[in-house]
Amino acid sequence: MKNTISIGHGGGGRLARDLIKDLFVKRFNNPMLAMLGDSAVFELNGSRLALTTDSYVVRPIFFPGGDIGKLAVCGTVNDLSVVGARPLYLSCGIIIEEGFSLKDLESITLSIKESADKADVEVITGDTKVIEKCQRVKEPAPAGSKQRSEGQSSKNNDSNIYINTAGVGIIEDGIDLGINKINAGDKIILSGTIGDHGIAVLSKREGFDFESTIESDCASLNEIAQKVLKAGSIRFMRDPTRGGLAAVLNEIAEDGNLEIKVDEDSIPVRDDVNGICTMLGLDPLYIANEGKVIIVAAQGDANNILKTLQTDPLGQNASIIGEITGKGKNKGVYLNTAYGGTRVLDMPVDDPLPRIC
């Protein structure tokens, strides 16, 4: 580990994963934390509960399809949903720099309320802190883009806001997900197109004027998750946020000692997202999403789960993208390319687009 923390340590790739394992898991070691799940699952008075927490530092705070408030609610709801929990309650801690627009704060608060109502959860506790305005830190910009400061928002507000949320949910009897449940032959299902969120945030941040309007896929997945849990045998779920699809598949392969093969042609990507990624030298497989879920399902139930996804607006572009081809040997992720070859799909080192969540 390096002697100092870089922006890449927060990107959801190899640097972030090594930091978590080598420092936090080592120091706070316990069975629940060691699972490295989106939420910790535990029992209390005969009930199985899930608990998660996350912090949001997205720049800009307002972007096509959402804002930092909506993102905070949806992200926390989704981390509970993918472990099979029904989200119930949220906390909300807000850190605001002096000089922040009260109008923008009101807009973000309304967004939190609307998103919580839509997901059928309640914000039952919170905290507010106001801090001195921090010095702006320059972030690396993608090739061909104009460098902007971290704090520049879509409403020209030069003060920052950060949100931390925690969420608790209940897991019904009969639901038991985990990487250790995955078997060779299981199918991998992706609930929809990838890269939408990262490209929407990037285009707003850098002021790109594309012909098509790409909006973030930011959405709560609790309803669709509960639907698919009733549609067949699901081994594992995770939402591909920082690091994108490639990072999650590599996490599954590494933690489960699995060989995974996915088909490039089966992975849904919008044409405009793919075109922008090509223009900027980015790979949509590594771009963050905020309203998609990766499902590992029993082979015999995969088609029924896919059909269930496709009946929901959030899953209409769902696709079976690959399968678990081995367990205990040849650990890794392999991509069958559109050109007929096969290549290793590596774990990203960091995130190509900082500040996307």
Q: Please name the helix (run of DSSP H) or strand (run of DSSP E) that holds residue 258, with its range, or none.
A: strand 258-263
Lowest mean pLDDT among 17-21, 138-142, 160-164: 138-142
| Contact (CB, 8 A) for 162 and 95 | yes
Q: Which tens digits make up the pLDDT trace of 229-275?
A: 999 999 999 999 999 999 999 999 999 999 999 999 999 999 999 99
Distance CA 141, CA 243 (A): 17
Query: Which whole-number Å values give the CA distances from 146 to 12, 107, 149, 166, in the listed order?
Result: 24, 28, 10, 35
| Contact (CB, 8 A) for 290 and 197 | yes
Name the average pLDDT for the chain: 91
Which stretches of 176-243 are DSSP H helices?
196-206, 222-229
For tokens 């096509």, the residue is: 64
Question: For the chain, which domains are there?
Answer: 1-29 (no CATH), 38-171 (3.30.1330.10), 179-344 (3.90.650.10)
Please report the pLDDT score of residue 157 as a whole number: 56
If DSSP codes are grouped into helix, strand and coil, which group holds residue 122?
strand
Q: Which tens digits make up the pLDDT trace of 142-176?
A: 555 544 444 344 344 579 999 999 999 999 999 99
Lowest mean pLDDT among 124-138, 144-158, 248-262, 328-342: 144-158
Is the previous residue joined to 60 through a cis bond, with omega within 30 degrees of 0?
A: yes
How much is the average pLDDT of 176-190?
A: 97
Q: Which tens digits make up the pLDDT trace of 186-230?
A: 999 999 999 999 999 999 998 887 767 899 999 999 999 999 999
